[in-house]
Each structure stands twice: as structure tokens, then as C-alpha cells.
Amino acid sequence: MTIAVIVLSQQGVTIAKQIKSGLPDVIIYGLVDRVVTSDVDHSYQNFGEVTQTLFRSGFTIVGVCAAGIIIRSVAELLNDKWQEPPVIAVAEDGSAVVPLLGGLKGANTIARQIADLFDTEAAITTSGDIRFRTALLAPPPGYSLANPEHAKTFLSNLLAGQSVKLNGHAPWLIQSKLPFSDTATELTIQITSSDGNPSDRTLVYHPPESNPSGKLFVIGTGPGADRWMSPEVKQVLKQSTDWVGYTTYLNLVEPMRTHQIRHDSDNRVELDRAAQALDLAAAGRSVVIVSSGDPGIFAMAAAVFEAIETIDKPEWRTIDLQICPGISAMQAAAARIGAPLGHDFCAISLSDILKPWSVIEQRLTAAAQADFVMAFYNPISTQRRWQLDRTKDLLLQFRSATTPVILARNVGRSGELIRVTTLGKLNANDADMRTMIIVGSSQTRILERSGHDLPWVYTPRRYQPE
């Protein structure tokens, strides 16, 4: 569920940004002329209008303003408590967080999450929630309450002190303070896909089974050029409802955006991004995670599976998940210069953020000994400058200083730069995080071309040991 944080003042922007960095899927709306436009995702003219539009579209609404302002804005739209989205007021200094509406859609849970960000308590007023620390009537995405008509009596029995037996798997309830007892005879919570025999003594939840409409596509846009993006990827982007990704990659596909909601992330924690996309898909959205190049090569596809495996959310396992391949940077770089990957090769990321440098060194050594052509991803960043020099020294123990090396920067994007040098002359200053490097094997050749600055580089298919 997308959270719209609506602010009226520049002071509110600070609060809104804190909410955005702490919760997934937040879009900030700022009042035009009162807040700096570049600080918010959208500007609006009229508070009442934007609030009503977002409310009707089912957005969770967080107003950084007085509760009264929001209440008056949505008052005329209130007619169905089962449908209304969460509406929450947050004080301009973050000192108070008040869930106003949408208790059945998880308003209290979101209010608590926001309150946690500001080290305060959410002003929860619904009694079941206060006592049991869970909203029985608002199960997480994927689950549905089969017999809401019995909920009121069930809840008052709980509040009167009766204990309850849980049949089935309900991770969100386990963490609550519900008076669970295996021997309880009065009340039962049943997690089942059949309707069974609901009564006011048995609350029945349907677990997530299949999400006929919820889909997740992990796509690769190719290295950057439109003509290197597959038709499948273009179609998936067009037909989806939500795009999730690192801002740089979302910007690359922004010209193709029509109605899709962007969920930009600046943070480098891929697992968070994957979890956010999985949650959106589990809630029935058609979600695309945008990677550059190929999504399965040092990119988001593996992060999605890590999230599914390590985070206990059964509803994710039913998502219709599809990986759409793309042209990887090494293929594009190779194509620009000839055929350096024409014989056996390997791809190695030089980033030691997710693996220890000792493992990288061991792999480099083994690959050098095996005489593979090597494609290096993530060769350098502002935090990692020495790794490439160290790589060069290591490779020089096994390979001649005249081994061809290709430095390919921004392939397929504006500012593309391809250079050919040798291992002996490789200089870490020639690479950055938008560069990929191909180091030849003992067989890789440079062919000079007349009338061209760049030679051809290729690796023959036949092997002649030295």
C-alpha cells in the first residue's frame, strides 16, 4: 500500500523525509510555494483536493498537520469503514502520531511504525489493538477475514478475558499479545482456505493462496540503449502498475512511463528493495523491479530470492514471479570492440561489500591460472580504490604485461567511452563505477584497424597453449 505523506510547510518536509527513509513505498506531496519543490515528489495546490483524490484511490494518507485539517478534508467521503484507507495525522515536529481512520486497513500498525521513527507512542484508541497489540480485523496483505460479521462479538469475548486457540500458521498473530492457549475451548482462530464453520466463537482467516493479479517481474534494461532492451522488457514495463528500483535505473526508463507509480530508492540495501516489491506484488499489484544489464548478473534477481528465503512471509511464495533477461554490460562492451569473450571466460565482481576480499583474491588467482578471459564488474568506487591495483598486481603474476585489456564506460549510454590498453598499463584512475573491464587470456589478440582509433580485440575459439 503506497503511503502518501502530505505536507503543508517546509518544517513538515523534514518529518516527511524521515518517514520516507524509514518506511517502504512513500510518496511526499508538498504544498506549492510553501515547500521547496525539489524536496518533495509531487507539488499540489489545494490540500483538500489532493487529500480527497488520494483517499479515493486508496492511498494510505499521512498528513503532517493538525488532525482537524485532514478530518474536514475527507469527512464527506466517509461511508464504508471496511473500505477506507488508513488516515494518520502526524504533528509537524513528529511528537504526536494519531491514527484517525482505516483501522481495518492497518492504520494502527502504520502509526506505530511512524511513531517508532520519532521515538514516540502512537495515539491508539481502538481497544482490541491496545490490549492485544494486533489488529484482528486488519490482517496483513494476502490474508483475509472470512467472517467479519462475527468479529465484534469475538473481540468483546477476548476483551472479557477468554483465551483463544490458534489453528494454523499466522506469523503476525504470534507476535501479538493475544491470550493464546492450546487448551482454550472458548474461542478459536482458524487459518484455513475453506470457510469451515465460522461463528462468533471462531474467527476464520483465509491464508494467501494465489495472487491471481499480483505479479513480480525482475527485468534487465540492458546496458542503457533503447535498442538493447528486449521487447519482452518493454512490454512488461508498459503493462505494470509499479516500478521499483534505484533512481538511476528508473530514470533510464522514465520516458516510457505512463501511469506507473515509481518507487525510487536511494538506499543500497537490495534486500529492502526486494521486500518492498514483494509486498506490493503480494497486495495484488503488477510490479517491475528494474535492474540495468541483466537482472540475474550482480543484480536484483538474486536479492529477490534471498528475501523470499530469509524473510518469513508465506504470501511471497505464491507470487507469480518472472525474470526477464537483458543484455549484460560485458556483452555490450565485447560487442563494441570485437569478440573478446569468444572463448571460455568468467565474470567477477570486484566489490568486497558482499564478500570478503580474500575470496575475491582466491578467485582471481584461480581464474588467472585457468587462463580465463575475465569480465570485471564493480571495479572501483569512491570507497574502494585500491582493489583494482591489487587485482592488476595479482594477475601480472600469471599473465603477461602485454595482455589486452578493455575499459568500457557507460556502454550504450551517453558518454560512452571504450578504451583498449594492456595489463601492464592498466591504471586504476581510468576506471570508475560505470566502467566494466575485460582482461584477455593468453590467446586474446589486438588487431589494429586502419582509419580507426580503436583496434579490434578478439579471443580465438581454438586454444593454443603457450
What residue ranges bind ligand SAH (CB under 6 A)? 223-224, 291-294, 297-299, 328-329, 377-379, 408-413, 433-436
Comparing CB distances to ligand SAH, the nearer of 87 and 438 is 438
Comparing CB distances to ligand SAH, the nearer of 8 and 360 is 360
What does the alpha-carbon distance between residue 458 and residue 339 come to, in Å, rounded to a whole number? 4
Least distance from ligand SAH to the Cβ atom of residue 23, Å: 27
**CB-based contact 297:261 (threshold 8 Å):** no
Comparing CB distances to ligand SAH, the nearer of 6 and 323 is 323
Comparing CB distances to ligand SAH, the nearer of 204 and 347 is 347
Q: Name every residue whose Cβ is closer than 8 Å to that of residue 392 and which is 6 or more positions away in sequence.
A: 423, 426, 428
Least distance from ligand SAH to the Cβ atom of residue 351, Å: 8
Least distance from ligand SAH to the Cβ atom of residue 353, Å: 11
Comparing CB distances to ligand SAH, the nearer of 84 and 294 is 294
Comparing CB distances to ligand SAH, the nearer of 353 and 401 is 353
Comparing CB distances to ligand SAH, the nearer of 281 and 388 is 388
Least distance from ligand SAH to the Cβ atom of residue 230, Å: 13
Q: What is the DSSP letter of 260?
A: P
Least distance from ligand SAH to the Cβ atom of residue 411, Å: 4
Comparing CB distances to ligand SAH, the nearer of 23 and 218 is 218
What number of CA atoms fall less than 13 Å from residue 326's CA on the CB side? 31
Helix (H, G, I), strand (E, B) or coil at 447: strand
Q: How far is CA 457 from CA 374, 438, 461, in A?
A: 14, 10, 13
Q: Which residue type is seen at 460? A: P
Q: Which residue type is seen at 373? A: V
User: Beta 404-409 vs 417-422: how paired, if at all?
Assistant: antiparallel
**Secondary structure (DSSP) of 101-115:** E-GGGTHHHHHHHHH
Nearest residue (beta carbon) to ligand SAH = 293
Least distance from ligand SAH to the Cβ atom of residue 183, Å: 54
* Residue found under cell 492504520: 107
Least distance from ligand SAH to the Cβ atom of residue 354, Å: 11
Least distance from ligand SAH to the Cβ atom of residue 220, Å: 6
Comparing CB distances to ligand SAH, the nearer of 260 and 378 is 378
Bridge partners, 373 (sequence order): 345
419-423 own/partner pairs: CB under 8 Å, 24+ apart: 419/454, 420/337, 420/446, 420/454, 420/455, 420/457, 423/392, 423/395, 423/396, 423/399
**CB-based contact 290:221 (threshold 8 Å):** yes
Q: How far is CA 419 from CA 329, 348, 389, 393, 434, in A?
A: 15, 20, 18, 20, 14
Least distance from ligand SAH to the Cβ atom of residue 295, Å: 6
Q: What is the DSSP letter of 22?
A: H
